């Protein structure tokens, strides 16, 4: 029965048996070091990436880079088309996605009867989040550009991004509404408010910072996406005489322009100009994320 | 109506993919599509060079995905274990936002990173012409980096959800921390971990910009990581760049490829959700 | 009250305790000025006691008096709690287990623990028992270990035909006996039990108590319990802990009030606090 060495032993033996073994200590340490090292890999790569972009891109950043359209010569090239296009997309996507997203979230969280249909819808939202973004581009290309005949224009691109981030906004909205204490809703109802009034006047204001934060974060994700708008019809540059906010004109966007630069054969485009474009895009994203964080912190009390 | 938007989106995707895809299969034999081993869908269908087998695109996609997973699974899981079992709260609070930043970097930026930094680096390590300028390895490695946060954060949640009582049981049997983590906590969180890997795999399959920039545009039936390949997503980008007009065979082929892409990722997601649900049933 | 006392005498008569068999008691644990701190909070202070071999020692006292905390110092489970610190000396067979050169993992191998809530691994019954030995490098004879451990934990007959079914499918009482069997499987010297029956129904509790008496033949057992009747039924020695409140400094800490043979402590307590507690005046 004694398969393990059981201590039925004298004091001295016990002291030895309980001693820390060097081999096992080293094994534990190595394991922990391996984990720490693996964790650092991701962080180090992030730093390398950012440093590389700053080093490569900084020299191309001048005023002309912001005011020029694309050119065949790297030194004359700018991101005016992309930057204005991206800003237009941002406004447009926010205007369309926010009301629909918040409406869906309110309905799902506060009013929808818990039936198989709502459960199915929940599951559907989860699964939609995993659909590759390029597929949304395909949807927009076929449905908006051709079937509804919007053409490969700004509105088609914006709608592609709207469909892409709607599930994210709905989930964020649902979470924020769920986090509002039920007593607020019940209190309003007890005072004679209709369910709609209770949600609109009481619950929604409390949940709004959370919803806004979620929306801004989703929006910043959408702005960085190149694949869906590329498929939905974004072009590498826009005609200089059209307005960037014209819904029915072809449009450019920052990520698509960066893609264009990277794919060009000249190294000046591939490395420096692309990096400069990336710097500008990352700066826009940083601004948006900072806004979200400020919003979250201000209202988290 | 508002609430149904997600379902309408799904139905829209399915409807569009299949209605445009049907146009394609009315011109092209579906058997040829799945069995032919070359993908040259441009030009005149009567021409001998015209071949319409999707296999090279699928192989290219899987090659990139396998490389990506072989980077992301070990690194992501190690990160998850470190954060859940070893890191202090203070370190955890610092590392997690950095992972979120990594997850939030636009993939076109990562594509730039792959082409201008990783590819030259790899070509230096393997000199000569063993590695093409555009290659599956570089794209796969960077896609792997992109999905590390997916693996790490979902796995970390699962590991943290394992009750402390199981760790105590293991310690009380005289197991050291490493064995406790690997033999008790890890298996107990397994279904959540599997779910994280499946979701990451879905993201790798659907990733577009990194492969469009760094993997190349040459559909090839190869498992050689050093050679140029084309993925399904890479083809879609290339084909729309060619201004394919609606109704043309090239235009329709995008949707046929899109169907496969959609089905692969959708099914992966459904399986991943199943595992998440199973994990929740045990511990929540 | 007299009724109860008669019962006590009956139940302790058949036991082989120091009352009937005077003998030299072998010390397993010897505690000197042991205190446990969490940051600034002192959970237990200045405990001096000895735990004897092949006896069941019960820790009783009101909740929050630090009896479970003290139990966890016996196998260094306290190490796992952030900011906890043990002062004084906890000597196991003469060796202070808080010495620099002692490996807590080795300590826990020899001093097993059973917890308040049954905590079987989400594996099969067989794999739960086999888990410890396998991880300590035992390759052969696992089947025997599993069978013996389950027999010793009085669970074999109930599970022998379903060793491959999940441990979580067992009832709460069975799960707790499984946890005891799992602990036995690594052949510990001491088994610490932290309110092992508090989550169980009366019948399951009786089985666990019966088991404790049987296990005492082979192992040294220290059990924390809320239930004074349980301490009476199972233990040879009982230690009563209480909360000492310092009104001036606004601090509270657990102290050992009285320690001695169970029958003596329950029938003829020396300390008034003990007497009040066993009469149910507070708790």
Q: C178 — contact with chain B (CB < 8 Å)?
A: no
C88 interface with B at CB cutoff 8 Å: no
Give me the half-sphere count of Cα atoms (radius 13 Å) on the Cβ side of residue C176. Answer: 24
A140-149, long-range: CB within 8 Å, 24+ apart, which pairs?
A140/A228, A140/A231, A140/A232, A141/A231, A141/A232, A141/A233, A141/B240, A142/B16, A142/B19, A142/B20, A142/B255, A143/B12, A143/B16, A144/A232, A145/A232, A145/A233, A146/B246, A147/B16
Residue B3, pLDDT score: 56
Task: Check B163 against C119: CB less than 8 A apart.
Answer: yes
> Is the separation of the CB atoms in A240 and A24 below 8 Å?
no
What's the number of CA atoms in the CB half-sphere (13 Å) around residue B158?
33
What count of other Cβ atoms lies within 10 Å of the Cβ of residue B17?
24
Strands (E), C39-188: 41-52, 56-60, 84-92, 95-96, 111-114
Residue A174 lies in a domain: yes
User: Do A26 and A175 belong together in one domain?
Assistant: no
- Could you tell me if residue C151 is inside a domain? no
Which neighbouring-strand residues pair with C87? C35
Q: Are residues A104 and A237 in the same domain?
A: yes
What is the token pair recorded at A219?
């929006």
CB pairs under 8 A between B and C: 65
Q: Which of A286-295, B27-36, C55-64 has the highest mean pLDDT?
A: C55-64
Q: Which residues in chain A touch residue C144, judged by CB atoms under 8 angstroms apart?
A: 1, 3
Residues in chain C: 283
Choosing from A60, A91, A112, the residue where a domain stops is A60
Where a domain ends, among A40, A60, A80? A60
Residue C106 touches chain A, beta carbons under 8 Å:
yes
Chain A residue with minimal CA distance to B94?
A43
Please tell me which of the candidates A45, A127, A138 has its beta carbon nearest to residue B145.
Answer: A45
Task: Name the nearest CA neighbour of C238 among C11, C44, C59, C31.
Answer: C59
pLDDT per residue as tens digits for the range C62-72: 988 889 999 99
Q: Is C119's pLDDT higher than 90?
A: yes
Q: Which of residues 231-270 of B touch A (CB under 8 A)?
A: 233, 236-237, 240-241, 246, 254-255, 258, 261-262, 265-266, 268-270
Task: In whole angstroms, give the CA distance from residue A298 to residue A16.
Answer: 59
Q: State both tokens at C101.
A: 């050169």
Which of B100, B184, B115, B110 shows the shortest CA–CA distance to B150?
B100
Q: Are C75 and C111 in contact (CB under 8 A)?
A: yes
CB contact under 8 A, B269 and A127: yes
Based on the fold, state whether residues A73 and A195 are members of the same structural domain. yes
- CA–CA separation, A280 vs B54, rounded Å? 38
Question: Is the sign of the CA dihedral B253, B257, B260, B261 positive or negative?
Answer: negative
Does B6 sit within 8 Å of A128, measured CB to CB? Answer: yes
pLDDT on residue B244: 63
Residue C144 lies in a domain: no
Q: Which chains touch B (3 or more CB pairs under 8 A)?
A: A, C
**DSSP assignment letter at C20:** T
The number of folded domains in chain A is 2
Find all residues with CB under 8 Å of C40, minimum gap 6, and list them: none
Subunits touching A (CB < 8 Å, at least 3 pairs)? B, C
What's the pLDDT at B196?
95
* pLDDT > 60? residue B11: yes
Which chain B residues have a beta carbon less than 8 Å from that of C107? 174
Nearest CB to A259: which of B145, B209, B236?
A: B209
Neighbours of chain C (3+ CB pairs under 8 A): A, B
Angle between helices A154-179 and A80-106 (to 10 degrees): 40
Q: Residue A173 is part of a domain; what is its CATH number?
A: 1.10.3720.10
A31 and A80 belong to one structural domain = no
Residue C91: pLDDT band with limits 50, 70, 90: very high
Determine which of C131, C182, C190, C193 to mutate to test the interface with B (most B C-beta atoms within 10 Å).
Answer: C131
When pLDDT is cut at 50, 70 and 90, the band that residue B23 belongs to is confident
Q: Which residue of B has its CA nearest to C82?
A: B88
Residues B183, C106: C-beta atoms closer than 8 Å: no
**Gyration radius (Cα) of chain B, Å:** 22
Query: How confident is the model at residue A115, as a pLDDT?
Result: 74
- At CA B169, angle to CA B186 and CA B80, rounded to 5? 25
Q: Does C117 contact B165 at a Cβ distance shorter than 8 Å?
A: yes
Token pair belonging to A277: 């474009």
The span from the CA of A142 to the CA of A163, in Å, is 14
pLDDT recorded at residue B25:
85
Q: How many domains does chain C have?
A: 1
Nearest Cβ partner for A18 among C97, C136, C138:
C97
Q: How far apart are CA C58 and CA C195, in angstroms?
A: 10
A171 shares its domain with A236: yes
In a domain, C129, yes or no: no
Nearest to A14 among C92, C103, C187 (CB): C92
Query: A236 is in which domain, residue-wise?
Result: 63-299
- Residues in chain A with CB shorter than 8 Å from the CB of C187 are 2-4, 6
| Residue showing tokens 């790899």 | B122
Q: Which of A8, A10, A18 sits opposite C103 (nearest CB)?
A: A18
What stretch of H or E contains C245? strand C237-246
Tens of pLDDT, residue by residue over B117-158, are 999 999 999 887 788 889 999 999 999 999 999 999 999 999
Q: Give ipTM to 2 decimals.
A: 0.89
- Determine the Cα–Cα distance for residues A162 and B16; give it in Å rounded to an integer: 17
Instruction: Give residue limits of the domains in chain B.
Output: 54-283
Please report which residue ranges of C120-222 form alpha helices under DSSP H.
125-135, 142-152, 156-159, 172-184, 202-215
Per the structure, the complete domain to which residue C49 belongs is given by 2-119+183-278
CATH superfamily label, B54-283? MetI-like (1.10.3720.10)
Band of residue B284 on the pLDDT scale cut at 50, 70, 90: low
- In-domain check, residue C79: yes
All residues at 6 or more sequence positions from A225 whose CB lies less than 8 Å from its CB, including other chains: A133, A161, A164, A255, B106, B107
- From chain A, pick out residues whose CB is under 8 angstroms from the CB of C189: 6-8
B 180-209 residues with CB < 8 A to C = 183-184, 187-188
Same domain, A153 and A38: no
CB-CB under 8 Å, A3 with C94: no
Q: Which of A38, A108, A259 sits opposite B108 (nearest CB)?
A: A259
Would you say the pTM of this structure is higher than 0.90?
no
CB contact under 8 A, B175 and C115: no
Whole-number pLDDT of residue B189: 93
Compute CA B236 distance to the chain's CA centroid, rounded to the nearest angstrom. 16
Q: Which residues 64-103 of C have a C-beta within 8 angstroms of A? A: 92-95, 97, 101-103
CB contact under 8 A, C95 and A11: yes
* A233 chain-B contacts, CB cut-off 8 A: 240
Using CB atoms, which residue from C107, C110, C119 is nearest to B168?
A: C119
Per-residue pLDDT of chain A (301 residues; tens, 9 = 90+): 334 444 445 566 777 888 888 888 899 999 999 999 999 998 899 999 999 999 988 888 887 778 777 777 777 787 888 888 899 999 999 999 999 888 888 887 777 777 777 777 777 777 888 889 999 998 888 888 788 888 788 888 999 999 899 888 888 888 888 888 888 888 888 888 888 888 888 888 888 888 888 899 899 999 999 999 998 887 776 665 666 677 777 888 899 999 988 988 888 788 888 999 999 999 999 999 888 888 878 776 5
- Please compute, for residue A186, the number of CA atoms within 13 A of its CA located in the half-sphere on the CB side: 3
DSSP B136-150: HHHHHHHHHHHHHHH
Q: Can you tell me the distance from the alpha carbon of A285 to that of B77, in angstroms, rounded to the nearest whole number?
A: 28
Q: Are residues A35 and A82 in the same domain?
A: no
Residues in chain B closer than 8 A to A275 (CB atoms): 112
Phi, psi of C45 (to 5 degrees): -140, 150
Query: What's the average model confidence in pLDDT over B261-271?
Result: 92
Does an H or E element contain C192, and which?
strand C190-194
**Does B4 contact chain C (CB < 8 Å)?**
no
End-to-end CA distance of chain A: 62
* Nearest chain C CA: its distance from B148 CA (Å): 28
The answer to whether C108 contacts chain B (CB < 8 Å) is yes
Q: Taking a C-beta distance cutoff of 8 angstroms, is the pair A158, A222 a contact?
A: no
Question: How far lies B184's CA from each of B180, C48, C76, in Å?
Answer: 5, 36, 20
Which of B166, B172, B174 lies nearest to residue C121, judging by beta carbons?
A: B166
Cβ distance of B173 and C182 shorter than 8 Å = yes
d(Cα B137, Cα B130) in Å, to the nearest integer? 11
Does the pLDDT value for residue B205 go beyond 60?
Answer: yes
pLDDT in tens, C236-278: 999 999 988 888 887 889 999 999 999 999 999 998 899 999 8
User: Long-range contacts for C155-163 (Cβ within 8 Å, ≥24 apart)?
Assistant: C155/C181, C159/C125, C162/C125, C163/C124, C163/C125, C163/C126
Distance from CA of B270 to the nearest CA of A (A): 7
- What's the mean pLDDT when you consider all of chain C? 87
Q: What are phi and psi of B29, to 5 degrees?
A: -70, 130
Contact at CB, C101 and A4, closer than 8 angstroms = no
- Give residue for tokens 């490695």: B141
Per residue in C214-232, pLDDT (tens digit) is 999 999 999 999 888 999 9
Quick one: which of B39, B65, B69 has its CA closest to B236?
A: B39
Residue among A35, A146, A278 whose CB faces B246 most closely? A146
Residue A90 lies inside a defined structural domain of this protein: yes
CA distance C22 to chain B (A): 33
- Calculate what percentage of chain B has a pLDDT beyond 70: 96
- Cβ within 8 Å, pair A42-B246: no
The CATH code of the domain that includes C200 is 3.40.50.300
- For C141-168, what is each residue's pLDDT tens digit? 999 999 999 999 989 999 999 999 999 9
Distance (Å) from the C-alpha of residue B49 to the closest C-alpha of chain C?
Answer: 58
d(CA B108, CA C218) in angstroms, rounded, equals 68
């Amino acid at each position: 029965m004694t398969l393990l060495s059981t201590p039925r032993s004298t004091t001295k033996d016990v002291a030895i048996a309980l001693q820390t073994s060097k081999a096992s200590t080293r094994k534990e340490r190595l394991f922990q070091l391996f984990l720490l090292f693996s964790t650092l890999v991701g962080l180090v790569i992030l730093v390398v990436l950012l440093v590389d972009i700053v080093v490569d891109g900084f020299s191309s950043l001048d005023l002309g880079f912001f005011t020029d359209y694309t050119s065949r010569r790297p030194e004359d090239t700018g991101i005016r088309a992309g930057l204005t296009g991206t800003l237009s997309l941002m406004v447009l996507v926010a205007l369309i996605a926010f009301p629909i997203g918040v409406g869906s979230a309110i309905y799902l969280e506060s009013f929808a009867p818990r039936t198989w249909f709502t459960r199915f819808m929940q599951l559907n939202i989860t699964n939609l989040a995993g659909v590759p973004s390029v597929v949304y581009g395909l949807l927009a290309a076929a449905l908006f550009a051709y079937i509804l005949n919007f053409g490969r224009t700004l509105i088609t691109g914006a709608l592609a991004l709207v469909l892409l981030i709607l599930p994210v906004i709905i989930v964020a909205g649902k979470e924020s509404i769920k986090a509002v204490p039920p007593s607020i809703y019940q209190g309003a109802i007890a005072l004679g408010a209709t369910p709609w009034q209770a949600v609109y006047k009481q619950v929604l204001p409390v949940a709004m910072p959370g919803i806004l934060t979620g929306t801004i974060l989703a929006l910043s994700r959408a702005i960085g996406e190149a694949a869906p708008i590329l498929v939905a019809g974004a072009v590498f540059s826009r005609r200089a005489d059209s307005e960037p906010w014209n819904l029915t004109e072809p449009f450019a966007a920052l990520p698509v322009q960066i893609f264009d630069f990277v794919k060009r054969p000249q190294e000046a485009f591939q490395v420096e100009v692309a990096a400069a474009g990336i710097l500008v895009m990352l700066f826009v994203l940083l601004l948006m994320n900072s806004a979200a964080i400020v919003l979250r912190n201000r209202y988290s009390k | 109506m508002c609430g149904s938007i997600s379902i309408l989106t799904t139905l829209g995707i399915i409807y569009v993919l299949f209605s445009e895809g049907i146009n394609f299969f009315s011109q092209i034999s579906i058997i040829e599509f799945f069995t032919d081993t070359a993908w040259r869908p441009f030009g005149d269908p009567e021409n001998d060079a015209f071949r319409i087998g999707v296999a090279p695109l699928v192989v290219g996609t899987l090659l990139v995905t396998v490389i990506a997973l072989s980077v992301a699974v070990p690194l992501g899981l190690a990160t998850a274990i470190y954060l859940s079992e070893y890191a202090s709260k203070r370190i955890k609070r610092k590392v997690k936002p950095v992972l979120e930043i990594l997850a939030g970097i636009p993939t076109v930026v990562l594509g730039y990173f792959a082409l201008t930094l990783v590819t030259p680096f790899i070509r230096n390590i393997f000199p000569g012409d063993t590695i093409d300028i555009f290659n599956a390895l570089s794209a796969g490695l960077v896609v792997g980096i992109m999905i590390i946060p997916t693996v790490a954060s979902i796995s970390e949640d699962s590991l943290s959800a394992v009750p402390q009582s199981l760790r105590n049981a293991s310690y009380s049997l005289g197991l050291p921390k490493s064995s406790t983590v690997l033999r008790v906590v890890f298996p107990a969180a397994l279904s959540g971990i599997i779910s994280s890997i499946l979701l990451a795999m879905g993201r790798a399959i659907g990733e577009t910009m990194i492969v469009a920039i760094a993997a190349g545009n040459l559909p090839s039936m190869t498992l050689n990581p050093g050679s140029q390949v084309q993925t399904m997503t890479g083809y879609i980008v290339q084909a729309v760049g060619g201004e394919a007009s609606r109704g043309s065979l090239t235009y329709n082929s995008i949707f046929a490829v899109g169907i496969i892409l959609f089905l692969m990722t959708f099914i992966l997601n459904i399986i991943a959700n199943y595992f998440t649900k199973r994990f929740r049933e045990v511990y929540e | 009250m007299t009724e109860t006392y008669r019962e006590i005498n009956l139940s302790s008569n058949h036991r082989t305790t120091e009352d009937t068999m005077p003998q030299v008691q072998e010390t397993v644990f010897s505690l000197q000025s042991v205190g446990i701190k969490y940051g600034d909070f002192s959970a237990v202070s200045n405990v001096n006691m000895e735990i004897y071999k092949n006896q069941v020692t019960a820790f009783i006292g009101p909740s929050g008096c630090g009896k479970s905390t003290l139990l966890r110092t016996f196998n260094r489970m306290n190490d796992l709690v952030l900011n906890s610190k043990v002062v004084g000396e906890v000597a196991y067979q003469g060796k202070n287990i808080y010495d620099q050169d002692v490996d807590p993992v080795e300590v826990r191998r020899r001093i097993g623990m059973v917890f308040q809530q049954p905590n079987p691994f989400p594996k099969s019954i067989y794999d739960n028992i086999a888990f410890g030995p396998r991880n300590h490098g035992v390759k052969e004879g696992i089947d025997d270990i599993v069978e013996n451990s389950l027999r010793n934990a009085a669970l074999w007959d109930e599970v022998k035909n379903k060793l491959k079914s999940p441990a979580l499918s067992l009832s709460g009482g069975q799960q707790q006996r499984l946890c005891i069997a799992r602990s036995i499987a690594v052949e510990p010297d001491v088994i610490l039990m932290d309110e092992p029956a508090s989550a169980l129904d009366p019948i399951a509790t009786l089985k666990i108590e019966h088991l404790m008496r049987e296990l005492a033949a082979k192992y040294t057992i220290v059990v924390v319990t809320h239930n004074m009747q349980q301490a009476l039924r199972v233990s040879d020695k009982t230690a009563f802990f209480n909360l000492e409140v310092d009104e001036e400094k606004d601090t509270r800490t657990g102290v050992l009030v009285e320690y001695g043979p169970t029958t003596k402590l329950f029938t003829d307590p020396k300390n008034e606090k003990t007497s009040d507690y066993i009469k149910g005046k507070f708790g």
